Structure 1
Amino acid sequence: MRSLVYYVASTIDGFIAGPGSEVDFFSADGDHVAAIGEEYPETIPVHFRSVLGIDPPNRTIDTVLEGRGSYQFGLDDGVANAYPHLRHLVFSRTLGTAPDPAVEVVATDPVARVRALKREPGGRIWLCGGGEIAGVLRDEIDELAIKIYPVAIGSGRPLFGAAGFAPHQFRVASSRTFDDGVVFVHYARQPAHDHPGFGA
């Protein structure tokens, strides 16, 4: 069974963007950039690859999922497919046909689609964002890979959108603190049976 990993940047108070989709407080400089890029090369978008003059091979991920809001970031920059090196799905009931024929638009139930993807052969599935689709898919997320930046913004778009109260237990699989202040934590979902009474 393939795993779904939610790899995303977050503030220390749990936001992935500001209230107006601002992300300029997430620094693209510092010692965390190259190190995390080596671990997750698949997440480097095509327009950054061309600027940096790199084209690293995929390591463990072969599919990327996005919500409409996350996908719109690329469209606003004139990039219709930021991840041509991955199978690319966008969940949207309003987008219609994607401007890039390699991008599959999914207008049906995201949970059912992800469960079907997990049953297919292949590598890990990356949930790129945003928070709303992460909230919808929260029960399907097997791993969290969170770049926690040393900034608090007070309000904005939360890590899991408007998902309701429903505790999910994860364990820290690994963590790394960088000189630039970014903390990279990889969590794995903890099976419910490992926590008697949890969520009761």
Structure 2
Amino acid sequence: MKKVILDLAVTLDGFIEGSNGEIDWCIMDDDMDFDGFLASIDTIFYGRTSYDAWGNYQPEDGASAVEQKLWQDVHSKNKFVFSSQERQDPNATFISSDIAKKVTEIKQQDGKDIWLYGGAGLIKSFIQLGLIDTYRISVHPVALGSGKPLFEDLKERLQLKLVKTNTFRSGVVQLIYEPVR
């Protein structure tokens, strides 16, 4: 069965974006093997706001070949958007109800794993519904002091088991956890 993987950058003080939505603190180094991660998935789950911002994003003219390939790889995946707004979109399937049931159906399909991209509201819903199989949290060596926290409004304690760590030359430390069930 496919796994839902939350792969996310977070600051040392636990924020996934700054107070104004900024993510300029995120580091993308080649030793992080993001291409390898993209090769391990065939599906991306978005919230509507994140999809509207990034789901069809195209790099600027003159962007490096590496950046162009990265976005080409991202856009080659199956995209599902979880939103209360129903919408027809040739690049994505919109899901507006029965989140847990739909996620279970998608996980049972043949193929590779699923990237839970976000945003914060969707991540919160997936945490509360117990739909995340793997947490890949990349802690970046910066503290913002304020912003959007990763773990917000938890209804109950979230027990996780550390299964792997990766340290990158930039100082980013990736922590890979699985829920204790």
Structure with the larger RCO, 1 or 2 (CA within 8 Å, 6+ apart): 2
Equivalent-residue separation in structure 1 for 2:75 and 2:154 (angstroms) = 34
Q: Is the 8 A contact 2:32 2:168 kept in 1?
A: no
Residue of structure 1 equivalent to 2:49: 69
Equivalent-residue separation in structure 2 for 1:179 and 1:186 (angstroms) = 18
Distance change (3 Å), C-alpha of 1:82 and 1:173 = same
Are 2:166 and 1:176 aligned? yes
Are 2:131 and 1:140 aligned? yes
Equivalent-residue separation in structure 1 for 2:11 and 2:85 (angstroms) = 29
Equivalent-residue separation in structure 2 for 1:39 and 1:170 (angstroms) = 24
| Cα-Cα RMSD | 2.4
Equivalent-residue separation in structure 1 for 2:136 and 2:78 (angstroms) = 20
Residue of structure 1 equivalent to 2:68: none
Other structure's SS at 2:136 match:
strand
Aligned-partner residue type, residue 104 of structure 2: R
Are 2:21 and 1:21 aligned? yes
Are 2:91 and 1:90 aligned? no
* Identical positions, percent: 29
Equivalent-residue separation in structure 2 for 1:82 and 1:106 (angstroms) = 23
1:124 deviates by 1.0
**How do 1:123-134 and structure 2 match up within 5 A?**
123-134=112-123
Aligned-partner residue type, residue 189 of structure 1: P
Please list every run of 5 or more consecutive structure 2 residues that lacks an aligned counterpart in the other structure.
60-71
Once the two structures are superposed, residues 57-89 of structure 1 have per-residue CA deviations (whole angstroms, 9 ceiling, x without a partner) of x2x21111011121122269558x983321111
Query: Which of 90, 107, 128 is 1:118 aligned to?
Result: 107
TM-score (norm 2): 0.81
Equivalent-residue separation in structure 2 for 1:36 and 1:12 (angstroms) = 21
Q: Is the 8 A contact 1:10 1:148 kept in 2?
A: yes
Equivalent-residue separation in structure 1 for 2:58 and 2:41 (angstroms) = 24
Q: How many residues align?
A: 168
Distance change (3 Å), C-alpha of 1:11 and 1:96 = same
